[in-house]
Chains A and B, each alone.
Chain A
């Protein structure tokens, strides 16, 4: 059996996936990114290699593709492909009926619309600012003295939404601290935070031309409160994926590796 790999080196998490020659995902992992991208890739790749019998190192893979911000730092990679293309392909092979993605990573937000063959039809991406990204949620959870998981469920019980006016992560953090200090309900503040990010996602998805059948990828896809807020602003039901949405970039890279490796 031939195996193909994809390694998505993100700013906060590194993900790796191996698929077989039929395209079936046989291994996947998510590890916290190290400061050196190459190290993160090595750790993630070792984990997935260990999950597949008959593989001893990345060199045993027929083809390996790097993606994510550290895409050009993946050892033994045959080539690198942008995470925009990889997320589109990852979602396409997981659920071909999905036509658009909101990918919320550690340091950026992207709206991507997908063509019928899994390639990118159009995309939009935020600029340098970290507002509305994974880092933003980390900062907010810190303000609430909660884990990310606790924070992501907090807004679900809110009866009201307290709008957060600041867009900047730093100013928003200080606004949240003020609101908490004023004794405002924590779940309603959290709902305001989720809504602020959902609005940003709305803009990205519309810029990318997304109309229906949309899903979330990236680490923030697991944020239940955000998902609910996005469904509210988009007036759409977000499609749940059968595979961990955080792995979509790596899965897309592995699928591209499969297509390119078999065509070699």
Chain B
């Protein structure tokens, strides 16, 4: 396949949290609000003169200092972010919108404040609570928190217009971004897709890490390009997989999988497009912040929600996506020391195999997988097993037809 016109530009944008588009927007007087979690409604950070930037720590090396502060047995993602903060990687931020979802990330936010990783006078770190289940009273609570602990803070610290009108405008732009990313992602359903899982991962990540207004025109152009892009006549992959699990912003993980012959067709993980790129449908009757809060709570696939119906939702979503995107198997991944996914993964990966019938590879991994030989072997063996199963299945089907 011919290279995508903007792929290298997109990859470069992901090399640094303070990328060129972020700097460009800030030079025009906009404020950058960092966040780390789907529980924080991205769209509320894109109101008026603010833009959201999902925090990453690309090219993480040693995490010795953050390990000193946070101990060995805490999520590597949270430690990597703190380490980058200590290195000065988040000095560009004007605020951090945190959620009280997991204790490791809370420690990270606290240390970013306590260690004064950002010297801007107006810089703020704010926290909002996250409930354990989705009920009407929880939706009210989250909406109230979003007003008090986020929108009011943004208004007080940065003078942001947080009126319903401004929020509605942000939702419109957000929905447009979602439509474009979803349309690009839908090409992965095709038998021989004109896009690879790696390319989609890059596209999905830039949509989170860059100001929406700046990245949207480039994504629209990419969508048009993909519409007419011709894939190689014979598919390059040997099996199709869906990834489900915890935070993934490491392009090397997708690259490693695809080098082993597995096309990633669906990405149900934090920083992926499921959930994250669903349009927000608003009505004119109900409080707008409450509607947004409900949207994020209903679509969330985070194991922080421990209610039975949410646990079932997560399994059903994995099953649905794998079917819808024509996957041959599921990779169930978990960041090492992630509290919530560490409970979910061992059981859920068995259930997906035994009750839903999906071949499943269950892995725990570092924040950056680099070029892990052992992961490569596991991925390749899984692909080989999927490939053989598919060949056998096809042969059986042909026998039945014959």
Interface code A72-100, partner B: CB below 8 Å = 1, 0 otherwise? 00000000011111000000000000000
Is B121 located at the chain interface by the 8 A CB criterion? Answer: no
B381 to chain A, nearest CB (A): 4
Instruction: Give the residues from 324 to 379 in chain B that come closer than 8 angstroms, CB to CB, to chain A.
Output: 364, 372-374, 377-378
* CB under 8 Å from chain B, chain A span 144-186: none
- Cβ of A127 within 8 Å of any chain B Cβ, yes or no, is yes
Interface membership of B213, Cβ < 8 A: no
Report how far A119 CA is from B392 CA in the complex, Å. 11
- Which A residues are in CB contact (< 8 Å) with B4? none
A75 CB, nearest partner CB in chain B, Å: 20
The answer for the CA separation of A125 and B381 in the assembled complex, in Å, is 11
| Contact assessment for A82 and B388 in the assembled complex, using a CB-CB cutoff below 8 Å | no
Please state if B377 and A83 are interface contacts (CB–CB under 8 Å): yes
A69 to B381, CA, bound (A): 12
Among B372, B373, B384, contact of A120 (Cβ-Cβ < 8 Å): B384
Instruction: List, in ascending order, chain A residues with CB within 8 A of B207's CB.
Output: none
A121 to B386, CA, bound (A): 10
Chain A min CB distance to B80 (Å):
17
Interface residue? A123 (CB, 8 A): yes
CB of A235 within 8 A of chain B?
no
Q: How far is the CA of A83 from the CA of B388 in the complex (A)?
A: 15
Query: Is B128 close to A, CB under 8 A?
Result: no
> When the two chains form their complex, are residues A85 and B384 in contact, meaning their CB atoms are under 8 A apart?
yes
- Contact call B374/A85, Cβ cutoff below 8 A: no
**B380 interfacial by beta-carbon distance below 8 Å:** yes
The answer to whether B374 touches A125, judged by C-beta atoms less than 8 angstroms apart, is yes
Q: Please report the C-alpha to C-alpha distance between residue A128 and residue B364 in the assembled complex, in whole angstroms.
A: 11
A123 CA / B374 CA spacing, docked (Å)? 13
Q: In the complex, which of the residues A84, A119, A121, A128 contacts B377, with contact meaning CB atoms closer than 8 Å?
A: A84
Interface residues on chain A, number (Cβ under 8 Å) = 15
Chain B residue numbers with a CB within 8 Å of A188 are none
- As a 0/1 sequence over residues 106 to 140 of chain B, the CB contacts with chain A under 8 angstroms (1 = contact) are 00000000000000000000000000000000000
**Alpha-carbon distance between A81 and B364 when the two chains are bound, in angstroms:** 23
Query: A108 near B: Cβ within 8 Å?
Result: yes
Q: List 30 A-B contacts (CB under 8 A).
A: A69-B373, A69-B377, A81-B380, A81-B384, A82-B377, A82-B380, A82-B381, A82-B384, A84-B377, A84-B378, A84-B380, A84-B381, A84-B384, A85-B381, A85-B384, A108-B374, A108-B377, A119-B385, A119-B388, A120-B384, A120-B385, A123-B381, A125-B374, A125-B377, A125-B378, A126-B374, A127-B364, A127-B374, A128-B372, A128-B374
Contacts of B384 in A (CB 8 A): 81-82, 84-85, 119-120
B72 to chain A, nearest CB (A): 13
Chain B, Cβ-Cβ closest to A85: B384
Q: Which 5 A-B pairs have the closest CB atoms?
A: A84-B381, A82-B381, A82-B380, A85-B384, A119-B388
- Tell me how many residue pairs across A and B have CB atoms closer than 8 Å: 36
In-complex Cβ contact of A85 among B364, B372, B385 (8 A): B385
Q: How does the 8 Å CB contact mask read for A106-140 relative to B, with 1 for contact and 0 for none?
A: 00100000000001110101111000000000000
> Given the complex, which residues of A lie within 8 Å of B364, measured CB to CB?
127
Chain A residues with Cβ below 8 Å from B388 are 119
Of chain A, the residue at the smallest CB distance from B378 is: A125
Chain A residue contacts of B380, Cβ below 8 A: 81-82, 84
Least CB distance from A103 to B in Å reads: 11
Bound state CA distance, A48 and B110, in angstroms?
62
Taken together as a complex, chains A and B put the C-alpha atoms of A164 and B373 apart, in Å, by: 29
Q: Which of A69, A119, A126 has the most CB of B within 10 A?
A: A119
A116 to B: closest C-beta gap in Å: 11
Q: How far, in angstroms, from A69 to B376 measured CA to CA in the complex? A: 9
Q: Write out the residue numbers on chain B whose beta carbons fall within 8 Å of the beta carbon of A126.
A: 374
Interface string of A53-85 (1 = CB under 8 A from B): 000000000000000010000000000011111
CB distance from B341 to the nearest CB of A (A): 16
Most A-side CB within 10 Å, residue of B364, B372, B377, B380: B377
Cα A123 to Cα B384 in complex, Å, equals 12
B343 shortest CB reach to chain A, Å: 17
Q: Which residues of A contact B374 (CB under 8 A)?
A: 108, 125-128
CA of A123 to CA of B380, assembled, Å: 12
Closest A residue to B384 using CB positions: A85
A88 CB → nearest B CB, Å: 9
- Interface flags for B168-193 (1: CB within 8 Å of A; 0: not) read 00000000000000000000000000
Among B380, B381, B385: residue with most chain A CB under 10 A: B381
CB-based nearest A residue for B346: A207
- A125 cross-chain contacts in B, Cβ below 8 A: 374, 377-378
Q: How far is the CA of A120 from the CA of B385 in the complex (A)?
A: 6
The complex places the Cα of A114 from the Cα of B129 at a distance, in Å, of 48
Rounded to whole Å, the gap between the CB of A180 and the closest CB of chain B is 29
Nearest CB on A from B317, distance (A): 24
Residue of A nearest to B259 (CB): A72
Q: Whole-angstrom distance from the CB of A4 to the nearest CB of chain B?
A: 18
Task: Check A120–B381 contact: CB distance below 8 A.
Answer: yes
B361: min CB distance to chain A, Å: 9
A82 and B382 CA atoms in complex are apart in Å by: 9
In the bound assembly, the distance between CA atoms of A108 and B380 in angstroms comes to: 16
Q: What distance in Å separates the Cβ of A63 from its nearest Cβ neighbour in chain B?
A: 16
Closest-CB distance, B297 to chain A (whole angstroms) = 35
Shortest beta-carbon distance from A205 to chain B in Å: 16
Residue of A nearest to B383 (CB): A82
Closest Cβ–Cβ distance, residue A6 to chain B (whole Å): 15
B261 → chain A closest CB, angstroms: 10
Q: With A and B bound together, what is the CA distance between A124 and B137 in angstroms?
A: 44
Chain A min CB distance to B338 (Å): 15
Shortest C-beta distance, B256 to chain A (Å), equals: 13
A125 to chain B minimum Cβ distance, whole angstroms, is: 6
Cα distance, A89 to B380, chains bound together (Å):
15
Closest to B372 in A: A128
**For the complex, what is the distance from the CA of A50 to the CA of B374, rounded to whole Å?**
33
Complex: A84 Cα to B380 Cα, angstroms? 9
